[in-house]
Structure 1
Amino acid sequence: MRYFLAVAEELHFGRAAMRLYVSQPSLSHQIRKLEETLGTPLFVRSSRRVGLTAAGRMLLENAPSALAALDQAVERTRLAGSGAATTIRLGYTPVANFGTLTALLEALQEEHPDCTIDAREVFSAEIPERICAGELDIGLALAPPPFDGVGSELLRREAVSALLSTRHCLAAAPKIPLAELRDETLLLFPRRLAPAYYDGIVAACQEAGFSPGIRTFEDPPVNAMLARLSGGREIGLAPASFAEHAGNLGTTLTARDVVDPSIAADLSMLWPTNDPSPALASVLAAARRCAERHGWLHDLTA
């Protein structure tokens, strides 16, 4: 293609060969191969002049942009291989959008300004499958179960908080022991969205001596939960950062700590174990430093 552009611009094989530092027979051979590949002549040749055919004029119009795109792809590939710049597709569970995601994106932007993060909201249960399908490079999932081909590392451990209407009888308590919820209806994310988290809440309630009354809500999960809690007597159990943010949205909801060291909201990083790219490794390392800086892995029982 570069040989074609040189001949098209010079309209002279000899001058084009000198410009390209190749022999004229070699240049002519490459042009003939290109014409054979395209199935049409690109030049009108005579003893006195070289001109472009209609097909040649069309190729001349599009070739520069095609070469520019190719050059860009080659450069992006080189940078991705060195870890200097690339696009990372990050899928995050909705509850990570309240504090965790913002801090993480800020840290990545500071450490890797040439790295573009394509962040998209994905339910925890779907993230491992999308990573294996090549749709995501990194995931932030709530209590993810083990998944073949997917690496996992705890990024943030949070207490679970109660989110309830300010009119609820327990809203005045600064903290709520889990056993105090035995006669309450708990509003939880649907189990299919985060099975391990859901099962952990149920197990903690049973350990506290009761089987919880549970109701769930459908899409969109965050908005549905807030609407239900504002207008009813149900109590939501959610990661503390989510509950705190929701409690600050208006005057109808408040967040209260749940006193029980056996329950926690574990947010983990997930990534494909078959991806050895320096770019992915550098982003994971930056996420670890961000977690350490913000104290996301503190011991909840301390």
Structure 2
Amino acid sequence: MDISPRVLRYFMAVAEELHFGRAASRLYIAQPSLSHQIRKLEETLGTPLFVRSSRRVQLTAAGRTLVREAPIALAALEHAVRQTQLAGTGVATTIRLGYTPVTSLDTLTTLLDALQEDRPGFTVDAQEFFSAEIPERLGAGDLDIGLALAPQLVDGVAGEILREEPVSALLSTRHRLAAAPAIPVTALRDETLQLFPRRLAPAYYDGIVAACREAGFVPEIRAYEEPPAKAMLRLSSGRVVGLAPASFAEHAAQGSTSIVVRDIIDPPIMAELSMLWSAHDRSPSLASVLDTARRCAERNGWLHAHTT
């Protein structure tokens, strides 16, 4: 149904004046032209909006309904136009951000704080996905930016490393390795490692397996696709060792009396968190977010992780 904002404004003027002559004068158009536009609007809607007589003009029930609804429609259109214009200048917009669970406790919250400080006009719609899903979501246009653990890029998706950090071990205070200040990779030889399934972050999973192979053994891995809280509960049993990026491990174990975090050493295993975006997106708003993310990484030393 093709109804222009201009015609709705014509209608509102007649509804407020209840006089075609005065409304035409107010709108600076000829009265016959205004009457013609209102008749076309009534034809489009399929119902009369005014009862006309030689002495007065009155609104019909349909007309009274449109008096309520038209300002809402006009305001929504004006809002959409204003937000689009602001987004085009990089001043304000809604950013659809996809993040992987291991970023949620530190990296994501730090970045959101930085965006709030640098870009107060931005609204961030943050959604959780596994790392393997995020490039596909970006490629499909469902997201504007992503935070993924060791992602595999797809056509049309660009990315760069936002954070490098060691992988840490999470284990029960009752575990035999809990008393060690740090855990050599070789000490994991006889342990069962708890990870999420390879398909959710293949490069990260393969990096851990490769580190174990270089240390002379093939790791025993149990893969679980479950929320972090449930994974922590499983670790408290003392029978498995969880491996996770250090920032996630420290926050996940914070306040726990049954779980400790230990560095993995000789050598450390490194995790890379990347930010991803559509390679075809040249918008100022995306450029603003990327600029804030890079400065956030530099300010927090995310690309200078301790590796010795």
Question: If the length of structure 1 is used for normalisation, what is the TM-score?
Answer: 0.95
Give the deviation of 1:41 after TM superposition: 2.1
- Tell me the percent identity: 71
Deviates more, 1:240-249 or 1:80-89: 240-249
Residue 168 of structure 2 aligns to a residue whose secondary structure is strand
Aligned to 1:102: 109
Q: Write the distance in 1 (CA, Å) between the matches of 2:233 and 2:175.
A: 15
Equivalent position amino acid for 1:201 in 2 = I
Structure 1 residues 247 and 219, CA, compared in 2 at 3 Å: closer, same or farther? closer
- Equivalences for residues 1-302 of structure 1 within 5 A: 1-220=8-227, 222-261=228-267, 263-298=269-304, 300-301=306-307
Equivalent position amino acid for 1:296 in 2 = W
Residue 255 of structure 1 aligns to a residue whose secondary structure is strand
Kept after mapping to 2: 8 A contact 1:166/1:252? yes
Give the deviation of 1:118 after TM superposition: 1.2
Residue 231 of structure 1 aligns to a residue whose secondary structure is coil
Q: Write the distance in 2 (CA, Å) between the matches of 1:24 and 1:72.
A: 30
* Gapped regions of structure 2 (runs ≥ 5): 1-7
Kept after mapping to 1: 8 A contact 2:14/2:23? yes
Give the deviation of 1:299 after TM superposition: 5.1
* Gapped regions of structure 1 (runs ≥ 5): none
Question: If the length of structure 2 is used for normalisation, what is the TM-score?
Answer: 0.93
Equivalent position amino acid for 1:159 in 2 = P
Kept after mapping to 1: 8 A contact 2:166/2:305? no
- CA offset digits 1:38-85 (Å, max 9, x no partner): 122222222222222222122112111121111111111111111111
Query: How many residue pairs were aligned?
Result: 301
Question: RMSD in angstroms over aligned alpha carbons?
Answer: 1.5
Give the deviation of 1:212 after TM superposition: 0.5
Q: Write the distance in 2 (CA, Å) between the matches of 1:3 and 1:229.
A: 68
Kept after mapping to 2: 8 A contact 1:246/1:253? no
